[in-house]
Protein backbone atom coordinates (compact mmCIF):
# COMPACT_ATOMS: atom_id res chain seq x y z
CA UNK A 1 0.00 0.00 0.00
CA UNK A 2 1.15 3.54 -0.70
CA UNK A 3 1.44 5.73 2.39
CA UNK A 4 1.40 9.47 1.81
CA UNK A 5 3.93 11.78 3.38
CA UNK A 6 1.14 13.46 5.34
CA UNK A 7 -0.07 10.13 6.77
CA UNK A 8 3.49 9.19 7.69
CA UNK A 9 3.88 12.50 9.54
CA UNK A 10 0.66 11.97 11.48
CA UNK A 11 1.72 8.45 12.41
CA UNK A 12 5.12 9.58 13.64
CA UNK A 13 3.49 12.35 15.68
CA UNK A 14 1.06 9.85 17.20
CA UNK A 15 3.92 7.56 18.22
CA UNK A 16 5.79 10.51 19.71
CA UNK A 17 2.81 11.54 21.82
CA UNK A 18 2.43 8.00 23.11
CA UNK A 19 6.12 7.95 23.99
CA UNK A 20 5.81 11.18 25.96
CA UNK A 21 2.94 9.82 28.04
CA UNK A 22 4.77 6.63 28.96
CA UNK A 23 8.02 8.23 30.11
CA UNK A 24 9.03 7.27 33.64
CA UNK A 25 9.46 9.96 36.31
CA UNK A 26 10.90 12.51 36.54
CA UNK A 27 10.78 12.78 32.73
CA UNK A 28 6.98 12.47 32.44
CA UNK A 29 5.53 14.79 29.80
CA UNK A 30 1.86 15.40 29.09
CA UNK A 31 0.68 16.60 25.71
CA UNK A 32 -1.60 19.64 26.16
CA UNK A 33 -5.02 19.18 24.59
CA UNK A 34 -4.82 22.36 22.54
CA UNK A 35 -1.82 21.20 20.47
CA UNK A 36 -3.20 17.74 19.64
CA UNK A 37 -4.23 17.69 15.95
CA UNK A 38 -8.03 17.57 15.52
CA UNK A 39 -7.83 14.40 13.41
CA UNK A 40 -6.62 12.54 16.51
CA UNK A 41 -9.98 13.10 18.21
CA UNK A 42 -13.00 10.88 17.66
CA UNK A 43 -16.56 11.97 18.29
CA UNK A 44 -18.17 9.24 20.36
CA UNK A 45 -21.99 9.33 20.44
CA UNK A 46 -23.36 9.09 23.98
CA UNK A 47 -25.91 6.33 24.41
CA UNK A 48 -28.20 7.85 27.00
CA UNK A 49 -30.31 4.76 27.34
CA UNK A 50 -27.43 2.68 28.63
CA UNK A 51 -26.49 5.02 31.46
CA UNK A 52 -27.65 4.14 34.96
CA UNK A 53 -28.64 6.28 37.92
CA UNK A 54 -26.79 6.36 41.22
CA UNK A 55 -29.50 4.22 42.84
CA UNK A 56 -29.01 1.48 40.24
CA UNK A 57 -25.23 1.70 40.65
CA UNK A 58 -25.44 1.41 44.43
CA UNK A 59 -27.77 -1.59 44.37
CA UNK A 60 -25.67 -3.29 41.66
CA UNK A 61 -22.62 -3.03 43.90
CA UNK A 62 -24.65 -4.13 46.94
CA UNK A 63 -26.09 -7.17 45.15
CA UNK A 64 -22.69 -8.19 43.75
CA UNK A 65 -20.88 -8.01 47.09
CA UNK A 66 -23.54 -9.68 49.20
CA UNK A 67 -23.15 -13.40 48.79
CA UNK A 68 -22.90 -16.68 50.63
CA UNK A 69 -20.84 -15.18 53.48
CA UNK A 70 -24.08 -13.54 54.69
CA UNK A 71 -25.25 -16.96 55.88
CA UNK A 72 -21.98 -17.51 57.80
CA UNK A 73 -21.88 -14.12 59.50
CA UNK A 74 -23.23 -15.23 62.93
CA UNK A 75 -20.60 -17.98 63.21
CA UNK A 76 -17.87 -15.61 61.99
CA UNK A 77 -18.88 -12.86 64.43
CA UNK A 78 -18.85 -15.34 67.30
CA UNK A 79 -15.07 -15.63 66.86
CA UNK A 80 -14.57 -11.87 67.29
CA UNK A 81 -17.19 -11.13 69.92
CA UNK A 82 -20.33 -9.04 69.67
CA UNK A 83 -18.84 -5.55 70.03
CA UNK A 84 -15.46 -6.19 68.42
CA UNK A 85 -17.13 -8.13 65.64
CA UNK A 86 -19.33 -5.15 64.79
CA UNK A 87 -16.27 -2.89 64.81
CA UNK A 88 -14.33 -5.31 62.57
CA UNK A 89 -17.17 -5.32 60.04
CA UNK A 90 -17.10 -1.54 59.85
CA UNK A 91 -13.29 -1.38 59.87
CA UNK A 92 -12.68 -3.99 57.16
CA UNK A 93 -15.57 -2.51 55.18
CA UNK A 94 -14.00 0.96 55.33
CA UNK A 95 -10.55 -0.37 54.39
CA UNK A 96 -11.76 -2.44 51.44
CA UNK A 97 -13.94 0.48 50.32
CA UNK A 98 -10.86 2.72 50.28
CA UNK A 99 -8.81 0.28 48.19
CA UNK A 100 -11.79 -0.16 45.83
CA UNK A 101 -11.87 3.61 45.38
CA UNK A 102 -8.14 3.51 44.58
CA UNK A 103 -8.89 0.98 41.84
CA UNK A 104 -11.57 3.25 40.37
CA UNK A 105 -9.51 6.42 40.65
CA UNK A 106 -6.32 5.09 39.08
CA UNK A 107 -8.16 3.24 36.31
CA UNK A 108 -10.22 6.28 35.36
CA UNK A 109 -7.19 8.60 35.39
CA UNK A 110 -5.10 6.26 33.25
CA UNK A 111 -8.07 5.88 30.89
CA UNK A 112 -8.12 9.67 30.43
CA UNK A 113 -4.37 9.76 29.79
CA UNK A 114 -4.48 6.99 27.20
CA UNK A 115 -6.47 9.01 24.67
CA UNK A 116 -5.69 6.59 21.85
CA UNK A 117 -7.25 3.50 23.48
CA UNK A 118 -10.46 2.34 21.82
CA UNK A 119 -11.62 -0.23 24.39
CA UNK A 120 -12.59 0.34 28.05
CA UNK A 121 -9.73 0.05 30.51
CA UNK A 122 -9.85 -2.49 33.34
CA UNK A 123 -7.73 -2.57 36.48
CA UNK A 124 -5.86 -5.60 35.15
CA UNK A 125 -4.75 -3.42 32.21
CA UNK A 126 -3.52 -0.77 34.65
CA UNK A 127 -1.47 -3.39 36.51
CA UNK A 128 0.10 -4.45 33.22
CA UNK A 129 0.70 -0.76 32.34
CA UNK A 130 2.62 0.02 35.55
CA UNK A 131 4.19 -3.31 36.46
CA UNK A 132 6.21 -5.98 34.64
CA UNK A 133 4.59 -9.03 33.04
CA UNK A 134 4.82 -11.40 36.07
CA UNK A 135 2.73 -8.95 38.12
CA UNK A 136 -0.10 -9.08 35.60
CA UNK A 137 0.00 -12.89 35.73
CA UNK A 138 -0.09 -12.82 39.54
CA UNK A 139 -3.14 -10.56 39.40
CA UNK A 140 -4.77 -12.93 36.88
CA UNK A 141 -3.99 -15.91 39.12
CA UNK A 142 -5.43 -14.16 42.18
CA UNK A 143 -8.60 -13.28 40.29
CA UNK A 144 -8.92 -16.84 38.99
CA UNK A 145 -8.33 -18.23 42.50
CA UNK A 146 -11.17 -16.08 43.85
CA UNK A 147 -13.52 -17.42 41.16
CA UNK A 148 -12.46 -21.01 41.83
CA UNK A 149 -12.88 -20.48 45.57
CA UNK A 150 -16.38 -19.18 44.90
CA UNK A 151 -17.16 -22.34 42.89
CA UNK A 152 -16.05 -24.52 45.81
CA UNK A 153 -18.23 -22.53 48.21
CA UNK A 154 -21.22 -22.73 45.85
CA UNK A 155 -20.81 -26.51 45.55
CA UNK A 156 -20.70 -26.93 49.34
CA UNK A 157 -23.80 -24.77 49.70
CA UNK A 158 -25.66 -26.61 46.95
CA UNK A 159 -24.79 -29.92 48.62
CA UNK A 160 -25.93 -28.66 52.03
CA UNK A 161 -29.22 -27.15 50.85
CA UNK A 162 -30.06 -30.07 48.55
CA UNK A 163 -29.33 -32.59 51.32
CA UNK A 164 -31.49 -30.67 53.81
CA UNK A 165 -34.32 -30.21 51.31
CA UNK A 166 -34.23 -33.94 50.57
CA UNK A 167 -34.63 -34.73 54.27
CA UNK A 168 -37.52 -32.28 54.49
CA UNK A 169 -39.24 -33.91 51.51
CA UNK A 170 -38.76 -37.28 53.23
CA UNK A 171 -40.46 -35.88 56.33
CA UNK A 172 -43.33 -34.58 54.19
CA UNK A 173 -43.81 -37.98 52.53
CA UNK A 174 -43.62 -39.82 55.86
CA UNK A 175 -46.08 -37.41 57.47
CA UNK A 176 -43.63 -36.15 60.12
CA UNK A 177 -43.34 -32.63 58.68
CA UNK A 178 -45.11 -30.24 61.07
CA UNK A 179 -44.11 -26.62 60.57
CA UNK A 180 -46.31 -25.30 63.38
CA UNK A 181 -45.80 -25.56 67.17
CA UNK A 182 -42.06 -26.13 66.78
CA UNK A 183 -39.96 -26.24 69.95
CA UNK A 184 -38.10 -22.92 70.51
CA UNK A 185 -39.79 -21.62 67.36
CA UNK A 186 -37.68 -23.91 65.20
CA UNK A 187 -34.26 -23.37 66.83
CA UNK A 188 -32.08 -26.49 67.09
CA UNK A 189 -28.41 -27.02 67.84
CA UNK A 190 -27.86 -29.04 64.67
CA UNK A 191 -30.68 -29.66 62.22
CA UNK A 192 -29.24 -32.99 61.08
CA UNK A 193 -28.89 -34.43 64.59
CA UNK A 194 -32.55 -33.90 65.42
CA UNK A 195 -34.06 -35.56 62.41
CA UNK A 196 -33.79 -39.09 61.11
CA UNK A 197 -31.70 -39.45 57.97
CA UNK A 198 -32.62 -41.65 55.07
CA UNK A 199 -29.84 -44.11 55.85
CA UNK A 200 -27.48 -44.89 58.66
CA UNK A 201 -24.47 -45.27 56.39
CA UNK A 202 -22.14 -42.39 55.45
CA UNK A 203 -22.24 -43.58 51.83
CA UNK A 204 -25.91 -44.45 51.47
CA UNK A 205 -28.17 -43.19 48.68
CA UNK A 206 -28.81 -39.81 50.42
CA UNK A 207 -26.08 -38.71 52.81
CA UNK A 208 -23.84 -35.69 53.26
CA UNK A 209 -21.10 -37.59 51.43
CA UNK A 210 -23.11 -38.71 48.42
CA UNK A 211 -25.25 -35.61 47.72
CA UNK A 212 -22.19 -33.57 46.56
CA UNK A 213 -21.80 -36.14 43.78
CA UNK A 214 -25.40 -35.65 42.65
CA UNK A 215 -24.83 -31.90 42.23
CA UNK A 216 -22.87 -32.57 39.06
CA UNK A 217 -26.11 -33.55 37.31
CA UNK A 218 -27.64 -30.18 38.25
CA UNK A 219 -24.88 -27.86 37.04
CA UNK A 220 -22.64 -29.71 34.58
CA UNK A 221 -24.86 -29.34 31.46
CA UNK A 222 -25.24 -25.60 32.12
CA UNK A 223 -21.46 -25.23 32.56
CA UNK A 224 -20.94 -26.47 29.00
CA UNK A 225 -22.92 -23.64 27.41
CA UNK A 226 -20.92 -21.56 24.96
CA UNK A 227 -22.56 -18.30 26.01
CA UNK A 228 -23.61 -17.05 29.44
CA UNK A 229 -26.36 -14.77 28.12
CA UNK A 230 -29.13 -17.16 29.15
CA UNK A 231 -27.77 -17.55 32.69
CA UNK A 232 -27.24 -13.82 33.21
CA UNK A 233 -30.99 -13.27 32.88
CA UNK A 234 -31.46 -14.92 36.28
CA UNK A 235 -29.27 -12.43 38.17
CA UNK A 236 -32.34 -10.88 39.76
CA UNK A 237 -32.73 -14.07 41.80
CA UNK A 238 -29.78 -12.88 43.87
CA UNK A 239 -31.72 -9.90 45.21
CA UNK A 240 -34.73 -12.11 46.01
CA UNK A 241 -32.56 -14.61 47.90
CA UNK A 242 -30.78 -11.90 49.88
CA UNK A 243 -34.02 -10.21 50.87
CA UNK A 244 -35.55 -13.57 51.80
CA UNK A 245 -32.55 -14.47 53.97
CA UNK A 246 -32.67 -11.10 55.76
CA UNK A 247 -36.43 -11.43 56.22
CA UNK A 248 -35.92 -14.95 57.60
CA UNK A 249 -33.44 -13.71 60.24
CA UNK A 250 -35.60 -10.70 61.21
CA UNK A 251 -38.69 -12.93 61.52
CA UNK A 252 -36.90 -15.51 63.65
CA UNK A 253 -35.38 -12.78 65.83
CA UNK A 254 -38.83 -11.32 66.49
CA UNK A 255 -40.12 -14.76 67.52
CA UNK A 256 -37.13 -15.69 69.68
CA UNK A 257 -36.70 -12.37 71.47
CA UNK A 258 -33.47 -11.27 73.15
CA UNK A 259 -31.43 -14.16 74.58
CA UNK A 260 -28.10 -12.60 75.46
CA UNK A 261 -25.61 -12.28 78.27
CA UNK A 262 -22.26 -10.52 77.97
CA UNK A 263 -21.28 -10.79 81.66
CA UNK A 264 -22.22 -14.30 82.87
CA UNK A 265 -19.67 -16.60 81.26
CA UNK A 266 -21.51 -19.67 82.58
CA UNK A 267 -24.75 -18.77 80.82
CA UNK A 268 -25.71 -20.69 77.67
CA UNK A 269 -26.60 -17.33 76.14
CA UNK A 270 -23.19 -15.82 76.82
CA UNK A 271 -21.51 -14.01 73.93
CA UNK A 272 -18.13 -12.42 74.59
CA UNK A 273 -18.10 -8.69 73.78
CA UNK A 274 -14.46 -9.01 72.66
CA UNK A 275 -12.37 -11.96 71.45
CA UNK A 276 -8.76 -12.21 70.31
CA UNK A 277 -9.76 -14.48 67.41
CA UNK A 278 -11.13 -11.53 65.43
CA UNK A 279 -8.70 -12.45 62.62
CA UNK A 280 -11.09 -15.20 61.48
CA UNK A 281 -13.85 -12.66 60.93
CA UNK A 282 -11.42 -10.35 59.12
CA UNK A 283 -10.53 -13.16 56.71
CA UNK A 284 -14.19 -13.86 56.01
CA UNK A 285 -14.94 -10.18 55.45
CA UNK A 286 -12.10 -9.79 52.95
CA UNK A 287 -14.00 -12.00 50.55
CA UNK A 288 -17.35 -10.61 51.67
CA UNK A 289 -16.32 -7.11 50.49
CA UNK A 290 -14.33 -8.34 47.48
CA UNK A 291 -15.46 -6.53 44.33
CA UNK A 292 -12.19 -5.02 43.19
CA UNK A 293 -11.90 -7.00 39.96
CA UNK A 294 -15.39 -5.95 38.83
CA UNK A 295 -16.04 -2.52 40.32
CA UNK A 296 -14.77 -0.54 37.31
CA UNK A 297 -17.16 -2.34 34.98
CA UNK A 298 -20.08 -1.86 37.39
CA UNK A 299 -19.71 1.90 37.79
CA UNK A 300 -18.51 2.77 34.28
CA UNK A 301 -22.07 3.42 33.11
CA UNK A 302 -22.93 5.72 36.00
CA UNK A 303 -24.86 8.69 34.57
CA UNK A 304 -22.86 11.09 36.74
CA UNK A 305 -19.24 9.93 37.20
CA UNK A 306 -18.71 12.65 39.80
CA UNK A 307 -20.84 10.53 42.14
CA UNK A 308 -18.69 7.41 41.80
CA UNK A 309 -16.98 7.93 45.16
CA UNK A 310 -20.23 8.69 46.96
CA UNK A 311 -22.06 5.75 45.35
CA UNK A 312 -19.26 3.31 46.13
CA UNK A 313 -19.13 4.41 49.77
CA UNK A 314 -22.92 4.13 50.06
CA UNK A 315 -22.85 0.60 48.63
CA UNK A 316 -20.10 -0.54 51.01
CA UNK A 317 -21.98 0.98 53.96
CA UNK A 318 -25.16 -0.86 52.94
CA UNK A 319 -23.24 -4.13 52.68
CA UNK A 320 -21.63 -3.61 56.10
CA UNK A 321 -25.01 -2.82 57.67
CA UNK A 322 -26.58 -5.91 56.06
CA UNK A 323 -23.82 -8.18 57.35
CA UNK A 324 -24.03 -6.56 60.78
CA UNK A 325 -27.82 -6.83 60.90
CA UNK A 326 -27.83 -10.55 60.12
CA UNK A 327 -24.85 -11.37 62.35
CA UNK A 328 -25.88 -9.34 65.39
CA UNK A 329 -29.60 -10.20 65.27
CA UNK A 330 -28.99 -13.92 65.02
CA UNK A 331 -26.38 -13.88 67.80
CA UNK A 332 -28.41 -11.93 70.36
CA UNK A 333 -31.70 -13.76 69.75
CA UNK A 334 -30.73 -17.41 69.14
CA UNK A 335 -32.42 -19.15 72.12
CA UNK A 336 -30.10 -22.17 72.58
CA UNK A 337 -26.47 -22.45 73.58
CA UNK A 338 -24.49 -19.96 71.50
CA UNK A 339 -21.72 -22.52 70.94
CA UNK A 340 -24.15 -24.40 68.68
CA UNK A 341 -23.76 -21.64 66.08
CA UNK A 342 -20.04 -22.30 65.66
CA UNK A 343 -20.24 -26.07 66.22
CA UNK A 344 -22.44 -26.76 63.19
CA UNK A 345 -20.10 -28.37 60.60
CA UNK A 346 -21.31 -26.19 57.73
CA UNK A 347 -21.24 -22.99 59.89
CA UNK A 348 -24.46 -21.88 58.14
CA UNK A 349 -27.24 -20.24 60.14
CA UNK A 350 -29.88 -22.39 58.39
CA UNK A 351 -28.44 -25.49 60.08
CA UNK A 352 -29.37 -24.03 63.48
CA UNK A 353 -33.04 -24.18 62.46
CA UNK A 354 -35.24 -27.28 62.30
CA UNK A 355 -35.73 -29.11 59.02
CA UNK A 356 -39.46 -28.78 59.67
CA UNK A 357 -39.28 -25.00 59.68
CA UNK A 358 -41.24 -23.74 56.67
CA UNK A 359 -39.35 -20.44 56.32
CA UNK A 360 -35.98 -22.20 56.43
CA UNK A 361 -37.14 -24.73 53.85
CA UNK A 362 -38.34 -22.01 51.45
CA UNK A 363 -35.11 -20.04 51.94
CA UNK A 364 -33.06 -23.12 51.02
CA UNK A 365 -35.15 -23.73 47.89
CA UNK A 366 -34.57 -20.14 46.76
CA UNK A 367 -30.84 -20.52 47.44
CA UNK A 368 -30.72 -23.72 45.35
CA UNK A 369 -32.41 -21.98 42.41
CA UNK A 370 -29.97 -19.08 42.61
CA UNK A 371 -26.85 -21.23 42.96
CA UNK A 372 -27.83 -23.49 40.04
CA UNK A 373 -27.69 -20.40 37.79
CA UNK A 374 -24.79 -18.59 39.49
CA UNK A 375 -22.40 -21.57 39.53
CA UNK A 376 -22.35 -22.04 35.71
CA UNK A 377 -22.04 -18.26 35.28
CA UNK A 378 -18.97 -18.02 37.51
CA UNK A 379 -17.57 -21.18 35.91
CA UNK A 380 -18.03 -19.51 32.51
CA UNK A 381 -16.12 -16.41 33.66
CA UNK A 382 -13.28 -18.50 35.11
CA UNK A 383 -13.08 -20.67 31.98
CA UNK A 384 -13.07 -17.66 29.65
CA UNK A 385 -10.41 -15.91 31.71
CA UNK A 386 -8.09 -18.91 31.77
CA UNK A 387 -8.67 -19.90 28.15
CA UNK A 388 -8.00 -16.35 26.99
CA UNK A 389 -4.76 -16.30 28.96
CA UNK A 390 -3.57 -19.69 27.70
CA UNK A 391 -5.21 -20.24 24.28
CA UNK A 392 -6.19 -16.64 23.37
CA UNK A 393 -9.71 -17.96 22.79
CA UNK A 394 -12.50 -18.04 25.43
CA UNK A 395 -14.03 -21.17 23.84
CA UNK A 396 -11.39 -23.38 22.25
CA UNK A 397 -13.56 -26.45 21.65
CA UNK A 398 -16.18 -28.51 23.42
CA UNK A 399 -13.49 -31.08 24.26
CA UNK A 400 -11.49 -28.47 26.17
CA UNK A 401 -14.60 -27.13 27.87
CA UNK A 402 -15.81 -30.56 28.99
CA UNK A 403 -12.34 -31.50 30.30
CA UNK A 404 -12.14 -28.21 32.20
CA UNK A 405 -15.61 -28.69 33.71
CA UNK A 406 -14.82 -32.27 34.73
CA UNK A 407 -11.66 -31.17 36.56
CA UNK A 408 -13.47 -28.32 38.32
CA UNK A 409 -16.37 -30.60 39.30
CA UNK A 410 -14.08 -33.31 40.70
CA UNK A 411 -12.17 -30.80 42.83
CA UNK A 412 -15.39 -29.26 44.12
CA UNK A 413 -16.85 -32.67 44.96
CA UNK A 414 -13.70 -33.69 46.82
CA UNK A 415 -13.61 -30.56 48.97
CA UNK A 416 -17.38 -30.62 49.58
CA UNK A 417 -17.04 -34.15 50.99
CA UNK A 418 -13.78 -33.80 52.90
CA UNK A 419 -14.04 -30.23 54.20
CA UNK A 420 -17.59 -28.81 53.96
CA UNK A 421 -16.96 -25.83 56.30
CA UNK A 422 -18.18 -22.85 54.32
CA UNK A 423 -16.95 -20.10 56.63
CA UNK A 424 -13.44 -21.58 56.87
CA UNK A 425 -13.16 -21.94 53.10
CA UNK A 426 -14.39 -18.35 52.68
CA UNK A 427 -11.79 -16.87 55.01
CA UNK A 428 -8.89 -18.82 53.48
CA UNK A 429 -9.90 -17.88 49.94
CA UNK A 430 -10.64 -14.32 50.98
CA UNK A 431 -7.36 -13.73 52.79
CA UNK A 432 -5.29 -15.25 49.96
CA UNK A 433 -6.99 -13.44 47.09
CA UNK A 434 -7.44 -10.32 49.18
CA UNK A 435 -3.71 -9.99 49.76
CA UNK A 436 -3.19 -9.53 46.04
CA UNK A 437 -6.31 -7.88 44.68
CA UNK A 438 -7.69 -6.01 47.71
CA UNK A 439 -4.58 -4.80 49.53
CA UNK A 440 -1.38 -5.10 47.49
CA UNK A 441 -2.16 -4.18 43.89
CA UNK A 442 -4.53 -1.24 44.57
CA UNK A 443 -2.01 0.37 46.94
CA UNK A 444 1.10 -0.46 44.90
CA UNK A 445 -0.43 0.79 41.64
CA UNK A 446 -1.65 3.96 43.35
CA UNK A 447 1.85 4.67 44.70
CA UNK A 448 3.39 4.11 41.27
CA UNK A 449 0.74 6.34 39.73
CA UNK A 450 1.50 9.13 42.22
CA UNK A 451 5.24 8.68 41.69
CA UNK A 452 4.85 9.03 37.96
CA UNK A 453 2.76 12.17 38.40
CA UNK A 454 5.24 13.59 40.95
CA UNK A 455 2.58 13.73 43.69
CA UNK A 456 3.88 11.00 46.00
CA UNK A 457 4.55 11.95 49.64
CA UNK A 458 6.31 9.96 52.34
CA UNK A 459 3.26 9.79 54.63
CA UNK A 460 1.08 8.55 51.77
CA UNK A 461 3.65 5.87 50.98
CA UNK A 462 3.84 4.84 54.64
CA UNK A 463 0.05 4.65 54.97
CA UNK A 464 -0.39 2.47 51.89
CA UNK A 465 2.51 0.21 52.83
CA UNK A 466 0.74 -0.36 56.18
CA UNK A 467 -2.38 -1.42 54.29
CA UNK A 468 -0.34 -3.93 52.29
CA UNK A 469 1.23 -5.26 55.50
CA UNK A 470 -2.25 -5.66 56.99
CA UNK A 471 -3.18 -7.82 54.00
CA UNK A 472 -0.13 -10.01 54.68
CA UNK A 473 -0.99 -10.22 58.39
CA UNK A 474 -4.58 -11.10 57.47
CA UNK A 475 -3.40 -14.06 55.39
CA UNK A 476 -0.85 -15.40 57.90
CA UNK A 477 -3.24 -15.03 60.85
CA UNK A 478 -5.80 -17.36 59.27
CA UNK A 479 -3.53 -20.25 60.17
CA UNK A 480 -3.37 -19.13 63.82
CA UNK A 481 -5.84 -19.24 66.70
CA UNK A 482 -4.70 -16.49 69.05
CA UNK A 483 -6.80 -17.78 71.98
CA UNK A 484 -4.65 -20.93 72.04
CA UNK A 485 -1.65 -18.85 73.07
CA UNK A 486 -3.36 -17.11 76.01
Q: Return the minimum-mean-pLDDT range out of 87-101, 222-236, 279-293, 453-467.
A: 222-236
**Contact predicate 281/77, CB 8 Å:** yes
Distance of CA 80 to the CA centre of its chain: 21
Q: Give Cβ neighbours of residue 27 (< 8 Å, ≥ 6 apart).
A: none
Helices 82-113 and 123-130: crossing angle, nearest 10°? Answer: 70
State the pTM of this model: 0.83
Percent of the chain at pLDDT exceeding 90? 36
pLDDT for the residue numbered 199: 47
pLDDT in tens, 137-161: 788 788 888 889 889 999 999 999 9
- Cα of 410 vs its chain's centroid, Å: 22
Give residue 6's pLDDT: 54
More confident residue, 329 or 370: 329
Q: Quick check: 410 pLDDT over 80?
A: yes
pLDDT for position 321: 95
Average the pLDDT over 325-331 and give the result. 94
CA dihedral for 21, 27, 32, 38, sign (positive or negative): negative
Q: What is the pLDDT of residues 368-401, one digit of tens each?
A: 888 888 888 888 888 887 887 777 777 778 888 9
Computed over every residue of the chain, the mean pLDDT equals 83
Q: What is the mean pLDDT of residues 296-319?
A: 89
Amino acid sequence: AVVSTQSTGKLSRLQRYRYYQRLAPPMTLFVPDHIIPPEFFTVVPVERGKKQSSIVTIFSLWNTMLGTSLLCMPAAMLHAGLLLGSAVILGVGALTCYTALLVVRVTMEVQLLDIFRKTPLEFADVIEYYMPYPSAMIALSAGSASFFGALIIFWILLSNFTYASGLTFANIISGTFHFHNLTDNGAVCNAYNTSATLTGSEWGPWTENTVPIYIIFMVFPLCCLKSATFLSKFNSLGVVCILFAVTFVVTKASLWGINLSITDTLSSHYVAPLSVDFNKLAGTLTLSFFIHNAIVALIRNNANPKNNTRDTMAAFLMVALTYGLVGVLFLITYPLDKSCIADVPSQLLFDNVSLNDLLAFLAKVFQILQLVTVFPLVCFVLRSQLFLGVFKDPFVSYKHVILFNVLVSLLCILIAIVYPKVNTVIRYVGSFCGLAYVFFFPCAIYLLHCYKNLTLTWYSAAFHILIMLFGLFNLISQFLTFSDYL
